[in-house]
Amino acid sequence: MKDLLTFSCLLIISLVSSQTHRYIYELQYKMDSTEAGYEKVNMILDITPKEVKFYGRDLATTDSLNKKFGMNSSYTDMTGQVVKRKINSFDNENFINIKNGYYTFKTTDKINWTIADETKKVENYTLQKATTKFGGRNWTAWFCKDIPFNEGPFKFRGLPGLIFELSDAKKNYMYTLVKSRKLDKIYSTSDFLESSFGNKAVPINEKQKHKLMMEFYNDPFAFERNNFNKSNNDLRININGKEIHTVDELNTQTKSMQEVIRKYNNPIEIDKAMHYPVYENK
């Protein structure tokens, strides 16, 4: 975070200009809360005069390579944390991949903070502690009043300064600010956030999202199953490197996939986690 000092000195005079203030966070998270290991990714927080966006850095990297080399690659963000909102707002637009579809739905996510007197030094910055409960988890944030953005990772905002560190009490999700930069224009995300590499986001609500996720869980290989039915089993398909010859083999793969979905069911908003049934004889 050494480059943040110079960055913050230039911040005040440039707040109203058409620029993007970019903060990169290292996110460590557990897909399965019972395991010790972490997934590790970099996430981008873009702040412009009108909007705030939070998304995986690999999305931007893929988009940049596509534009530079005329490629047509795609990337699926697995964190479930792609959001955007208007500046100074708790109203979020969420983006999510479900099976082969890309969807968007809106939520209002008011966060009430308790600010403590406790402070600590990180390099040249004084950070202050704040706590909150959000998404069924208890959170601790360390924010810096010297960076006058009341923003932070994902939906976490509303403190009198930028959040530098954030973690839940059980250490399932941990964010650390690692880098910042200032872009001299509004950074376009139209090809990978508002749409997913050519797949435009379809507006739905949370009830519809729940229905789509349950449909995928019930039959994650619905497309392949339909092809089997049309061909009277005279078909060879490949699933995760395994050649499938019969509907019975496909049912076995379906059960295995359902086990994986149940195992890695640890979303950041745990109070909205899906409750998947177990089908013993399916």
Write down the pLDDT at residue 226.
Answer: 79
Q: pLDDT tens for residues 163-178?
A: 999 999 999 999 999 9
Residues contacting 69, CB < 8 A, separation 6+: none
Q: What is the dihedral of CA 210, 212, 217, 218, to 10 degrees?
A: 110
First to last CA, the chain: 52
Residue of 3, 83, 5 lying closest to 43 (CA atoms): 83
What is the Cα–Cα distance from 159 to 165, expressed in whole angstroms? Answer: 13
> What secondary structure, in 3-state letters, does 177-192 show?
EEEEEEECCCCCCCCC
CATH topology of domain 4-199: outer membrane lipoprotein receptor (LolB), chain A (2.50.20)
Q: pLDDT tens for residues 225-244?
A: 877 666 555 566 777 778 88
What is the Cα–Cα distance from 86 to 47, expressed in whole angstroms? Answer: 10
Q: How many other C-beta atoms are found inside a 10 Å radius of the C-beta of residue 175?
A: 22
pTM over 0.85? The answer is yes
> 229-246: string of b/e by CB count within 10 Å (b at 16+)?
eeeeeebebebeeeebee
Please report how many Cα atoms fall inside a 13 Å half-sphere around the Cα of residue 270, on the Cβ side. Answer: 18
Return the structure tokens found at 1: 């975070």
Write down the pLDDT at residue 9.
Answer: 46
β-partners of residue 195 are 200
Which strand (E) or helix (H) includes residue 203? strand 202-203
Instruction: Give the residue extent of every domain in the chain.
Output: 4-199, 218-272
Q: Is 68 exposed, middle or buried (0-12, 13-18, 19+ CB in 10 A)?
A: exposed
Helices 222-231 + 247-263 axis angle, to 10? 170
217 backbone dihedrals φ, ψ, rounded to 5°:
-60, -45
Q: pLDDT tens for residues 76-108?
A: 999 999 999 999 999 999 999 998 899 999 999
What is the Cα–Cα distance from 9 to 151, expressed in whole angstroms? Answer: 18
Q: Which residues of the chain have pLDDT under 50?
A: 5-6, 9-10, 12-14, 16
